[in-house]
Amino acid sequence: SGTIPVITIDGPSASGKGTVAQIVARRLAYHYLDSGALYRLVALVAIRSNTDCANESAITNLALHLDVNFDGSSVRLNGEDVSDALRSEQCSKLASIIAGQSAVRAALLQRQRAFRQSPGLVTDGRDMGSAVFPDASLKIFLTASAEERARRRYKQLIEKGINANMQSILQDIYERDTRDSNRDISPLRQEVDAKLLDTTFLSIEDAVNEVLRLHNAVCKN
Ligand code: CDP
Ligand code: CDP
């Protein structure tokens, strides 16, 4: 068909979605969208502007007026590199809280769909295959055990020289999994047409190759 291919990679926190999606995008020379960054950006702007996160219309207004630029692996907000600020625990938590607001999700919808450009797109998040690109050419549900995901996040933080506590990371993962899976709108779950990829015992390279293999199989049809 004449539509531009999209590979969606949805799954819980620290399962490796972003890492795998970026490598797959590079291998295919496709565009890449980190949809979680958009929710984190809204959270960051809310924190900085002291906006009450329960004020849905105010938060939606922030989402509609985000001035954001993705270049390579860095994210710019009004020209400022906020890549590190977006990864803070406060931002992660607030992102998942505002992500439960339907008007906020609606405000980010067109912005996400605009990333579907030739020759193709690889994108990761929670609802990319279910709500944003329901007609995606390949849908992956990437997961790993909560303990393994906590170990990965812990290692990531320690390597960056950031103090981390395994118990509180695991606690945060459970909390965010629960909130993301139980919300009314666009909850995190495996779609019937999504392929399950459990990476608990899989290397990044193996996960990337499996996504590429599935993509090639779809392209031949
Ligand atoms: O995007 P998401 O939150 O799902 O995870 P990520 O930030 O891409 O990955 C979390 C960490 O797990 C990174 O440091 C990866 O290098 C590591 N990792 C992985 O992604 N996949 C594996 N199979 C093993 C480790
Ligand atoms: O990297 P990690 O998986 O920890 O988080 P993320 O993908 O950056 O997403 C941060 C938060 O944004 C998630 O906990 C979700 O609540 C929300 N999110 C969402 O609701 N829908 C998406 N497509 C992406 C993220």
pLDDT above 70: percentage of residues in the chain:
99
Which ligand 2 atom sits closest to the C-alpha of 10? 23
Write down the pLDDT at residue 1: 46
Q: How far is the CA of 221 from the centre of ligand 2 (A)?
A: 32
- Provide the token pair at 42: 């809204």
Cβ contact 150:170 at 8 Å: yes
Q: How far is Cα 89 from Cα 120, in angstroms, rounded to an integer?
A: 32
Residues facing residue 142 across a β-bridge: 197
Q: Is 36 annotated as a binding residue?
A: no
Q: Is 11 annotated as a binding residue?
A: yes
Q: Confirm or reject: Cβ of 143 under 6 Å from ligand 2.
A: no
The string of DSSP letters for the chain reads: --SPPEEEEE-STTSSHHHHHHHHHHHHT-EEEEHHHHHHHHHHHHHHTT--TT-HHHHHHHHHT--EEEETTEEEETTEE-HHHHTSHHHHHHHHHHTT-HHHHHHHHHHHHTT--TT-EEEEESSIIIII-TT-SEEEEEE--HHHHHHHHHHHHHHTT----HHHHHHHHHHHHHHHHH-SSS-----TTSEEEE-TT--HHHHHHHHHHHHHHHHH-
Cβ contact 74:15 at 8 Å: no
Q: How far is the CA of 88 from the centre of ligand 2 (A)?
A: 13
From atom 3 of ligand 1, which residue's Cα is the shortest distance away? 14
141 alpha carbon, closest ligand:
1
Q: Is 29 annotated as a binding residue?
A: no
Neighbours of 2 (CB within 10 A): 3
Cα-flanking dihedrals φ and ψ of residue 165, to 5°? -125, 120
Helix, strand, coil percentages, rounded to 5, for the chain: 50, 15, 35
Q: Is 134 annotated as a binding residue?
A: no
Tell me which residues of the chain have a pLDDT lower than 70.
Answer: 1-2, 221
Q: How far is Cα 69 from Cα 81, in angstroms, rounded to an integer?
A: 9
pTM of the model: 0.96
Q: How far is the CA of 182 from the centre of ligand 1 (A)?
A: 23
Q: Is 60 annotated as a binding residue?
A: no
177 alpha carbon, closest ligand:
2
pLDDT tens-digit series, residues 119-130:
999 999 999 999
The string of DSSP letters for 185-198 reads: SS-----TTSEEEE
Write down the pLDDT at residue 219: 84
Q: In what order do the strands lie in the sheet with 6-10?
A: 31-34, 121-125, 6-10, 138-143, 195-198
Cβ contact 168:39 at 8 Å: no
Ligand 1 neighbours by CB, cut-off 6 Å:
13-19, 152, 156, 199, 202-204, 207
Write down the pLDDT at residue 179: 93
